[in-house]
Amino acid sequence: MIFKPIQLNKDLETAIQFRKDSFYLSFGEGQRFNEEKYIKWLEEKLAEYPEGCVLIEENGKPIGQVELSIREYKGERIGYVHLYYLVAEERGNGKGKSLQSFAEDFFRRKGLRHYHLRVSPTNTQAMKFYKKNGLVEIGSELDGKVIRMKGMVP
């Protein structure tokens, strides 16, 4: 697998497609996805953390995407996973661990000790993966629509 920074002029359609699919996986529908807002957000994140917003390719074909940044949470600087995504045929075969390792390496290089992500409680496959890989639930947010989880940067 090759992790390469998203290039908006070349990869935008794929990034939008993958992000939109993540909404279906998380919430069962894509109506909450706003393409214009996402493009603006992605432009900002790429300017700030170009090495944290990547497409994942295998055999020259895009198979996934990762979006990472740094935030403050309750007075602590933390890593934040906005998106771990693999296309359907690549899920469940161990590749998710490579996405997590990529994120942890990014956060380690930035000098961080912890990272967070939020996941829909209905996305049971993702919840199981996160727990199996050491993340712990730290609370429910957005009126129960998501669960915040925390991981340690090894």
For the segment 41-85, what is each residue's pLDDT rounded down to a tens digit?
Answer: 999 999 999 999 999 999 999 999 999 999 999 999 999 999 999
Residue-level pLDDT at 118: 95
Total-model pTM: 0.92
Q: How confident is the model at residue 92 (pLDDT cuts 50, 70, 90)?
A: confident
Distance of CA 114 to the CA centre of its chain: 15
Helix, strand, coil shares, percent, the chain, to 5: 40, 35, 25
Q: How confident is the model at residue 29 (pLDDT cuts 50, 70, 90)?
A: low
Residue-level pLDDT at 144: 85
All domains of the chain in start order, with CATH: 2-152 (3.40.630.30)
Share of the chain above pLDDT 90, in %: 79
Which two three-digit tokens encode residue 141? 């947010």
